[in-house]
Amino acid sequence: MTSVTIREELAARHVVRNLAATVVTPSDEKREVLVAAENLELGNSPYQLLILQDITDRVRLENELRQAQKMEAVGRLAAGVAHDFNNILTVILGNTSMQLRNPRLDEKLAASLNHVQTAAERATALTRQLLAYSRKQMIQRRSVALNEVVEQTVAMLRRVIGEHIALDMQLAPDLPPIFADPSNVDQVIMNLALNARDAMPDGGRLTLTTTRVEIDKAYRARNSEAQLGPHICLAVKDTGHGMDTATVARIFDPFFTTKDPGKGTGMGLATVYGALKQHGGWVEVDSAPGRGTTIRTYFPLCPEGHVATVRKSEIALTEVAPTDKITILVVEDEDMLREFVSDALMTVGYRVLSAANGKDALGVWAKHKEEIDLLLTDVVMPESISGRQLAHMLIMDKPELKVIFTSGYSSELFGAEFESEKNHIFLAKPYLPDRLAQTVASHLQSRPAPAVALAVS
């Protein structure tokens, strides 16, 4: 809104109220204001009263709130899509894997099935990225020396960014450890660095910096996502072409990319955003056309005296051949998935009973309670009885019952008390028949213990 426009408004209406405008200060800073103006006459002389209310911080906070609400809504959508895809991928990967075991399989058909399996594995990687964005992936937080992770990642980066880009590190010494999943930190660094590389097709300089920062109330007032207290900042700076304001506003959206078709999924920076949010951190972007981009990520420090408890990612197996004396109750609302799981377990010798929902499972339980050794159930089911509720009811009836929960979401979604329950483990979809069989065999051997979340590739 210009002064000319304000004068025009005054000429037409004599009074202006709550007129939004942008003004430029003597230091060349743009500020958002609300304008109130009125024509006055004092001592037979005309005057114009002009009042400006600086609303820059309010506008920024409102924009941040809208952005956060948008990201949250898209995150819920992404998590739902990933969940449904993981159900489908379990069926695809499971059945192709079982068919590929057939020694009499035609060579050409085997090649086609291998292509199907490879494509499904690529889709699995994409669903992991969706879960990362939606902050529903499984993470294993512990004390992490950020500088060490940066140095290890840079060793790999030098081989992939090309000789046309100079790579620098400016790592602050004696940094305290952060509280994070090291594999996620590595993924954040790689995604930011590769994004910076792509912004410099003609060469340039890529700089990775680590610093300790103290977030105070003044900073918090400027950034609603920030948390007070000490943090470690990892910054990735490039000398590329930079981005305009409209592009910056969208760079963390899933599948948004400025690259040519086929040259990027648009999930790299979305994954970074989700990983930082899940770790209790945040991301800042500083960019403008012609002056490159700096992306700063902020990680919380590891709590003092914290002893990391890392979930087991592999199951130690003792060779125990399953027998037909072991009965498993499989509860899964997806028909094809239930059929695959049942077939895979029967193939290695288990006796399987199945049900499509919690209500049907209770009916099967009433008839075969004494025979059932293990419950394998989906967590989220459309009927009124969820997998957790079903397991609770059956364990109340038979405390020694072993339980395996499975879901297209990660166990993180179901809260801390889900992980603290006794005598069960979690198997994330998608999974192959071998992993399913290993998980079942191991859990049948285990003694009742606090839950261990199983991350499945």
Mean pLDDT of the chain: 78
Two structure tokens written together for 184: 């996620």
**Local confidence band at 363 (pLDDT 50, 70, 90 cut-offs):** very high
Q: Assess contact for 177 and 213: CB atoms under 8 A.
A: no
Q: Which of 39-53, 165-179, 343-357 has the lowest mean pLDDT?
A: 39-53
Two structure tokens written together for 62: 């409102």
Q: Answer yes or no: is 179 within a domain.
A: yes
Mean pLDDT of 47-68: 77
301's CB contacts (< 8 A; 6+ apart) are 176, 177, 178, 179, 229, 230, 231, 232
Asked whether residue 158 falls in the same domain as residue 237, the answer is yes
Looking at the predicted structure, is the pLDDT value of residue 108 above 50? yes
pLDDT at 147: 92
Q: Can you tell me which residue has the tokens 């009042």?
A: 51
pLDDT at 55: 83
Distances (CA, A) of 295 to 105, 164, 391: 51, 21, 45
Q: How many domains does the chain have?
A: 4
Asked whether residue 150 falls in the same domain as residue 292, the answer is yes
Looking at the predicted structure, is the pLDDT value of residue 42 above 50? yes
Asked whether residue 47 falls in the same domain as residue 82, the answer is no
Mean pLDDT of 148-156: 84
Looking at the predicted structure, is the pLDDT value of residue 456 above 60? no
Asked whether residue 155 falls in the same domain as residue 295, the answer is yes
pLDDT at 73: 66
Q: Answer yes or no: is 316 within a domain.
A: no
Give me the percent of the chain exceeding a pLDDT of 70.
Answer: 78
CA atoms within 13 A on the CB side of 167: 18
DSSP string, 78-101: HHHHHHHHHHHHHHHHHHHHHHHT
Mean pLDDT of 415-444: 75
pLDDT at 74: 64
DSSP reduced 3-state for 104:
coil
Asked whether residue 147 falls in the same domain as residue 273, the answer is yes
Q: Can you tell me which residue has the tokens 């103006």?
A: 37
Two structure tokens written together for 10: 């005054």
Strands 229-238 and 293-300, bridge-based pairing = antiparallel
Angle separating helix axes 182-198 and 268-278, nearest 10 degrees: 150
Two structure tokens written together for 128: 């992991």
User: Which of 93, 98, 100, 89 minimizes the C-alpha distance to 346?
Assistant: 98
DSSP H/E element including 212: strand 204-215
Pairwise CA distance, residues 260 & 256, whole Å: 11
User: Which of 226, 232, 236 minimizes the C-alpha distance to 212?
Assistant: 232
Q: Higher pLDDT residue, 178 or 454? A: 178
Q: Assess contact for 205 and 165: CB atoms under 8 A.
A: yes
Asked whether residue 160 falls in the same domain as residue 244, the answer is yes
Q: Encode 404-427: b = buried (16+ Cβ within 10 Å), e = exposed.
A: bbbbbbbbbbbeeebbebebbbbb
Q: Assess contact for 295 and 247: CB atoms under 8 A.
A: no
**Local confidence band at 62 (pLDDT 50, 70, 90 cut-offs):** confident
Mean pLDDT of 160-184: 86
Q: Assess contact for 32 and 66: CB atoms under 8 A.
A: no
Looking at the predicted structure, is the pLDDT value of residue 365 above 90? yes
Asked whether residue 147 falls in the same domain as residue 257, the answer is yes
pLDDT at 454: 32
pLDDT at 310: 35
Asked whether residue 179 falls in the same domain as residue 260, the answer is yes
CATH classification of the domain holding 259: 3.30.565.10
Distances (CA, A) of 405 to 230, 297, 329: 38, 34, 12
CB atoms closer than 10 angstroms to residue 215 = 18
pLDDT at 437: 86
Looking at the predicted structure, is the pLDDT value of residue 131 above 80? no
CATH classification of the domain holding 83: 1.10.287
pLDDT at 445: 81
Q: Assess contact for 299 and 232: CB atoms under 8 A.
A: yes
pLDDT at 451: 34
Mean pLDDT of 101-108: 79
pLDDT at 170: 93
306's CB contacts (< 8 A; 6+ apart) are 143, 179
Pairwise CA distance, residues 325 & 327, whole Å: 6
pLDDT at 259: 66
**Local confidence band at 67 (pLDDT 50, 70, 90 cut-offs):** low
Q: Higher pLDDT residue, 319 or 13? A: 13
Highest mean pLDDT among 102-111, 217-226, 231-240, 245-254: 231-240
Asked whether residue 170 falls in the same domain as residue 288, the answer is yes
Q: Answer yes or no: is 333 within a domain.
A: yes
Q: Higher pLDDT residue, 338 or 417? A: 338
Asked whether residue 218 falls in the same domain as residue 259, the answer is yes
pLDDT at 262: 52
**Local confidence band at 417 (pLDDT 50, 70, 90 cut-offs):** very low
User: Which of 410, 332, 440, 424 minimizes the C-alpha distance to 127?
Assistant: 410
pLDDT at 426: 84
Residue 125: give the domain boundaries. Answer: 59-133
Q: How far is CA 337 from the centre of its chain?
A: 25
**Local confidence band at 312 (pLDDT 50, 70, 90 cut-offs):** very low
Give me the percent of the chain exceeding a pLDDT of 90.
Answer: 16
Strands 204-215 and 282-287, bridge-based pairing = unpaired
The radius of gyration of the chain's CA atoms, rounded to the nearest angstrom, is 28
Q: Assess contact for 174 and 146: CB atoms under 8 A.
A: no
Asked whether residue 194 falls in the same domain as residue 263, the answer is yes
Looking at the predicted structure, is the pLDDT value of residue 457 above 50? no
Q: Answer yes or no: is 10 within a domain.
A: yes
Q: Answer yes or no: is 114 within a domain.
A: yes
Distances (CA, A) of 319 to 146, 375, 441, 444: 39, 21, 9, 12
Whether omega before 254 lies within 30 degrees of 0, making that bond cis, reads: no
CATH classification of the domain holding 403: 3.40.50.2300
DSSP reduced 3-state for 33:
strand
pLDDT at 447: 53
Q: Answer yes or no: is 317 within a domain.
A: no
Q: Answer yes or no: is 318 within a domain.
A: no
Q: Answer yes or no: is 359 within a domain.
A: yes
pLDDT at 132: 59
Asked whether residue 22 falls in the same domain as residue 66, the answer is no
